Amino acid sequence: MTEEVLQVIGTDGSASKQASQGLDKKALQRIYRMMVLVRTMDERGLKLQRQGRIHFYVPSWGQEAAQVGAVEALEPEDWLFPSYRDPGMFLNRGFPLQDFVRQLFGNANDPLKGRQMPNHFAAREQNCMSISSPIATQIPQAVGAAMAAKIRGDKTVVLVSFGDGGTSEGDFHVAMNFAGVYASPIVFLCQNNQYAISVPTKMQTGSKDFAIKARAYGFEGVKVDGNDVLAVYQATKKAVDKARSGGGPTLIEAVTYRMGPHSSSDDPTRYRSDAEVEEWKAKDPIDRFRGYLEGAGAWDEAFEKEVRESCTEEIASAIKAEEKVKPPPWETIFTDVFARMPRHLQEQLDEIVRARSEDPNFKFP
């Protein structure tokens, strides 16, 4: 069941004519641009944090294919339960880059009004559930949403994304068991990026891989080359179609690599070698997909120049605009909680307004 690793594009970019999986030239080019946009945003995000312009950043450098390829297989009505290292999923679902940047700054334009840490997005219009920092908590929540869809009789499929470290949490096993018993319309995507912060895969599990864990819960596990965007798309599309038709869940293990730090607070040189990083750089998902597109007649130097320049300009423009915006008004701590403010919050708000009017030096918060 998990003996082979699904691969469509070779490490040199070579692939069969059927590799496009029905995606036309424009779709393939859009996927490539999205991968470049995510990578470019990562580079700028880390620089913004290092410069003290934002407080925190979680890069996904090296995992662009796993994220963009998986979400490409979803329909607009489907739901996504992501982790904090999934910007490619949000952006490929149509989450505006401007809102992405607003959330990093936590300013007054931020749809979440500064309530969440940077990289912890939520996008109701794109059916993307809010991200949480605790590991794996989104997995049973996703199964619950999938079961709700099944009970209602609609054809919604849920995709839940998590890292290899998430499989060591009880939430993962509870969710897998429930989904297997009740044939939930869900796709579990484990992005095996080789490390849970500093803990390597070999210390995460005694199983030969993560995909095989699905067997214990009564459904299919698939292992895929997570740096091959078309392989991830193919595996996810098959799993999504199966779930939508009543065939139950699938666990996909996308084997990839986190090229950067776990977060802007991490120093990966303390727990992995330069040689290991260089080995995985040779498997870069963007370079591989570029090689495929060139062979398919969908890439040239002019296209590359346009993509790089447009991504850089789009990000720079968003940062320039949002960095000038002030933080959310302090009153939103009270007003942006309930549809109708309860008495105890109204009393606290009134007290602060009174204190501010009596003492010009009163500070809140």
Just list the catalytic residues: 258, 262, 271
Phi/psi for 320 (5° steps) reads: -60, -40
322 Cβ contact list (under 8 Å, min separation 6): 98, 101, 102, 104, 105, 107, 109
- Look at the alpha carbons of 208, 260, 70, 85 in this order and tell me if their dihedral is positive or negative: positive
Instruction: Report whether 194 contacts 200 (CB < 8 A).
Output: yes
Query: What's the rounded Cα separation, in Å, for the pair 102 and 321?
Result: 9
Residue type, 327: P
For the chain, the distance separating the N- and C-terminal CA atoms, rounded to the nearest angstrom, is 56
Report the length, in residues, of the chain: 365
- Look at the alpha carbons of 3, 281, 226, 200 in this order and tell me if their dihedral is positive or negative: positive
